[in-house]
Chain A
Amino acid sequence: MKKEFPVFILGLAAAFIVPLIFLIVVPYLQLSDAKPENYSEEDDVVAAWAYPAVWTGANKEGEEVYASQGCAYCHTQMVRPTYAGADMWRKGWGGNEEEGLARETRAADYTNDRRAMLGYMRIGQDLANVGTRNRDRAWYHQKLYNARTQNVDSSMPSYKNLYRKQQIAQPSENAIKLKGRFAVEEGYEVVPTEKAEALVDYLLSRKMDAPIPGAGTDEEVAAK
C-alpha cells in the first residue's frame, strides 16, 4: 500500500475532478455566457423588448426576501416539458395559454436572476409564471399576509412580519382588505413594508413564457 498510496490519492482525485469538469465547470461557463437576445423581425413579437426582458422594480431585493423566508422550500419555479410531467397542461403554469405562449422553462429564462429558485418541494403552486397569472398587487399582499383569507385550506405560513399594523390617519391606498376573523381593530390598518413590496415586485417578474428569439411564431414551429 505504501507504493500504491499515490495511485490511491490520484484515484480519489480523479473520481471528484472528472465529473466536476464535465458536469459543473463546462456547463457553468457555457450557461454563464448567456446574454439577453434581441428579437428579430421574423420572430413576430409585438413588443420591442429582448429575451428575456430586463425587469424593473425592486425584484433584486425581492429575490433576497424570497430566499430568506425559505419560499423555495415549498414553491418551485420550473415547468417541466410534457415527457417529464403534466406541468404545462395545468392552467396558467406554462404561461399565457390564450396567446399560445405556454411552454416549459428554459435556461435563458433565469438570466436576470441572481439564483434560480428551482425549488425543493411543491407544497404550493409552481411560481415560474405567477406574474402572468395574476397582476394584482393587492392579491399578492393579501395572500402573503395570511393565505387563509383566500383559501381556508392553504398551508402557506403567514408573513405578518413583512407587514405593519398602524393607526389610520388617512386611509392608505395599499392597506390590505381584511374581513371577518382576519380583521384588525377598528381604527387600524395593515400596510406592506418595503420588503413586502420588493417581494411582490419579484413575484410579478416571474413570467417565463416569453417567445424564444429565432424560434419563429407558434404556427411556424407547429409546421416544422
Chain B
Amino acid sequence: MSETMQEASVQDIQERAAIDKSARLPVLFFFTSAAGWLFLATLLGFASSVKLAAPELWDACPWLAYGQLFPAHMDSLIYGWGMQAGFGVMIWLMARLCRVEIKNGVTLVAAGFVWNLTILFGVVAVWSGYGNSMPWLDFPAYLWPAMFLSYAVIAGSLLMMFRRRREGEAYISQKYIFGAALWFPWIFAVANLILNHTGGSALMNAGVNAWFMNNLIYFWFVPVGLASAYYIIPKIVGRPIYSYQLAQIAFWALAVLAGWTGFNRFLGGPFPSWMPAISGTAIILMLLPIGAVAVNLLGTISGRGSLMHFSPSLRFTVFGGIMFNLYGLLVAFSSYFDISRLLQFSYATLGYDIMVVYGFFSMVVFGAIYFIVPRITGCEWPSAKLIRFHFWYSSYGIITIVAFMIFAGLAQGGAIDDWSGDFMDSVRRGKGYIVALAVAWALISVANLAFYYQLLMMACGKGRKSEGPTLIHKNPGEAASAEAAAGFAPEDTAKA
C-alpha cells in the first residue's frame, strides 16, 4: 500500500487503516465533486479565452460574453475546485497527523452539499449576469452566509480533531492546516461584511476586495499547499523534514506578512500612498519565508531527487513547489514601480493569479490526491500512463499560460506605456498570446478529464487491486515503493 517503506508496528498499521476508513466518505466526496468543478472551470477558461480572441463568436448569447465567462471560470476554479479539494486534503491530513478517527463524516458531507449548492448557484448567477465585478467575490451578496456556515462546520471539525490529537508536539503541517482553517472565515466575513453590508467609502471597497484576494492566497492557498508539501515530501523521500526550526520561522514570517498584502495590486492607486507601499514591501519581504520553505524542502529531498522519476505524488508536489517560488519572485519584481507600470493591469495579473491557484496549489493538491486516494479506497490507481499524461499536459499547459501571459503583459503593457501611440496597438499585440491561452486551457481540460476518469474509477472501487503502488515508469506491482524502485535503502522515516 505505502509508497514508502517504514517500520511500523502491527498496531500502527491497524490504527492507520481505521483512520483511513473513517475518512473515506467525506474525503472522497470532496475530491470527486472538486474534480468535477475543475473540469468545468478549465472548460470555462478555454471558452473565455476563445471569446477574448474572437469576441463576435456566438455574440447573440449574453452568457458567453467575456465579462461573465471569466469570473464564472475563476470562481469555479477557486471555490468549486481549489477550496473543496483543499478541504479533502485538510481533513485527511489532520486525521492522520492527530491520529484520530473522523466521527462526523456525514455532517461533513452535508456541509459539503451546502457548499456545492451555494457555489453552483453563485457561478450560475455570475454567468447569467448577476455578478458584481469584484474579482473572487463575484457572488450575489446573499450567498456568503451559506458558504460561511458550511465552511464553519468543516473548520470546526478540523479544530476538534486537533484538540483530540494524541501526539504532543504539533507537526508543521498541522499548524498550517489549523491556521488556514481559522484565517479563512475571518477574512471572508470581514470582506463580505464591509462590501455588502456597510455603505462606507467606495474606494475602500475596491481596496478590501484586493486585500481579500491576496489574503485568500497567503492565508489559505499557501498554508494548505505547504501543509500538503511538508507531509508528502518527507513521506515519500523517507526522511524527516530537514529543519523543523526553519519551518517554524517560515510559518510565522508568512503569517505576519500575509495580512499586509493586497494593495500592491493598485500601485500608484488613489489610496493614501503608504498603503500600496506597505503591501508592496510585504510582498517583497515574503521572499524570506518562501526561500526558507524552498531550502527546507530541497534539504529534505536532497540526494533522493530520482524518486520523482517514479512517484507521481512527489513529482506533482515538487512541480508545485517550484511554481510557488517562481510566483514569489515574479510578484516581488512586479512590486517595483518600473515593472508595475507595465504589468500591473496587464495579462500578467491574470497569469500570476492562475500561477498560484493552479501552478502551485492545484499541482500540490494533485500530488496529495494521488497519495491519499489509494489509502482510503484500498485500491491502486488504474493507469500509470494516465497519471503521466495528467502530469505532462497540466505542466505544459500551466507553463504555457504563465510564460505567455507575462510576455503578453509586456507587449500589451508596453504599448499602453508608450503614451503617444495608438491604444489599439495594445489590443492587437495582446491578441496572439490569447490564442496560446486558449490552447493551454484546452490541454489542461483534457488532462483533467483523464484525472477525473481515474478518480471516479477509484471512488467506485474499480481501481487496481495489487500489493504495490502505481508508479510512473514501472510495471504494476514491480516495486513495493518509490524508494525500492529508485534503489534506496529505507532510512528512519518521519512518523505518522
Chain A interface (Cβ < 8 Å from any Cβ of B): 1-2, 8-9, 11-12, 15-16, 18-20, 23-24, 27-29, 31-32, 34, 66-74, 76, 78, 80-81, 83-87, 89-91, 104-107, 109-125, 146-148, 151, 153-161
Find chain B residues with CB under 8 A from A116 CB: 202-203, 205-206, 270
Residue pair A83, B183 in contact (C-beta under 8 Å):
no
State the CA gap A100–B199 with chains docked (Å).
34
Task: Among B66, B131, B190, point to the contact of A157 (Cβ < 8 A).
Answer: B66
- 11 A–B pairs (Cβ distance < 8 Å), ordered by A: A12-B178, A27-B271, A28-B201, A32-B200, A73-B67, A84-B337, A85-B344, A105-B270, A116-B205, A124-B427, A159-B62
Residue pair B67, A70 in contact (C-beta under 8 Å):
yes
With A76-B345, A158-B65 known, 17 other A-B pairs at CB within 8 A are: A16-B219, A23-B260, A67-B132, A67-B133, A68-B129, A70-B131, A71-B67, A73-B71, A84-B340, A107-B271, A118-B206, A122-B412, A147-B55, A155-B53, A157-B59, A159-B65, A160-B62
Find chain A residues with CB under 8 A from B423 CB: 90, 125
Find chain A residues with CB under 8 A from B270 CB: 78, 104-107, 109-110, 116, 118
State the CA gap A71–B135 with chains docked (Å).
11
The majority secondary structure among interface residues of chain A is: loop
State the CA gap A91–B420 with chains docked (Å).
8
> Which residue of A is nearest B345, CB measured?
A122
State the CA gap A133–B326 with chains docked (Å).
41
Find chain A residues with CB under 8 A from B132 CB: 67-68, 115
Chain B interface (Cβ < 8 Å from any Cβ of A): 51-53, 55-56, 59-60, 62, 65-68, 70-71, 129-135, 168-170, 175, 178-179, 182-183, 186-187, 190, 194-195, 199-208, 210-211, 219, 252, 255-256, 258-260, 262-263, 266-272, 275, 278-279, 337, 340-341, 344-347, 349-350, 412-413, 416-420, 423-424, 426-428, 430-431
Residue pair B65, A70 in contact (C-beta under 8 Å):
yes
Residue pair B424, A151 in contact (C-beta under 8 Å):
yes
Residue pair B135, A73 in contact (C-beta under 8 Å):
yes
Residue among A9, A24, A160 with the highest chain B CB neighbour number at 10 A: A24
Report B383 CB to chain A, min CB distance, Å.
39
Report A24 CB to chain B, min CB distance, Å.
6
> Which residue of B is nearest A81, CB measured?
B268
Task: Among A18, A117, A118, point to the contact of B269 (Cβ < 8 A).
Answer: A118
Residue pair B59, A123 in contact (C-beta under 8 Å):
no
Residue pair B266, A118 in contact (C-beta under 8 Å):
yes
Residue pair A80, B202 in contact (C-beta under 8 Å):
no
> Which residue of A is nearest B430, CB measured?
A123
> Which residue of B is nearest A34, CB measured?
B201
Report A206 CB to chain B, min CB distance, Å.
13
State the CA gap A9–B255 with chains docked (Å).
12
Residue pair A73, B175 in contact (C-beta under 8 Å):
no
Report B448 CB to chain A, min CB distance, Å.
24
Report A106 CB to chain B, min CB distance, Å.
5
Task: Among B52, B62, B182, B206, point to the contact of A161 (Cβ < 8 A).
Answer: B62
> Which residue of A is nearest B252, CB measured?
A11
Given contacts A1-B170, A31-B204, contact A20 B259 (CB under 8 A): yes
> Which residue of A is nearest B204, CB measured?
A28
State the CA gap A153–B428 with chains docked (Å).
7
Find chain B residues with CB under 8 A from A71 CB: 67, 133
Find chain A residues with CB under 8 A from B53 CB: 155
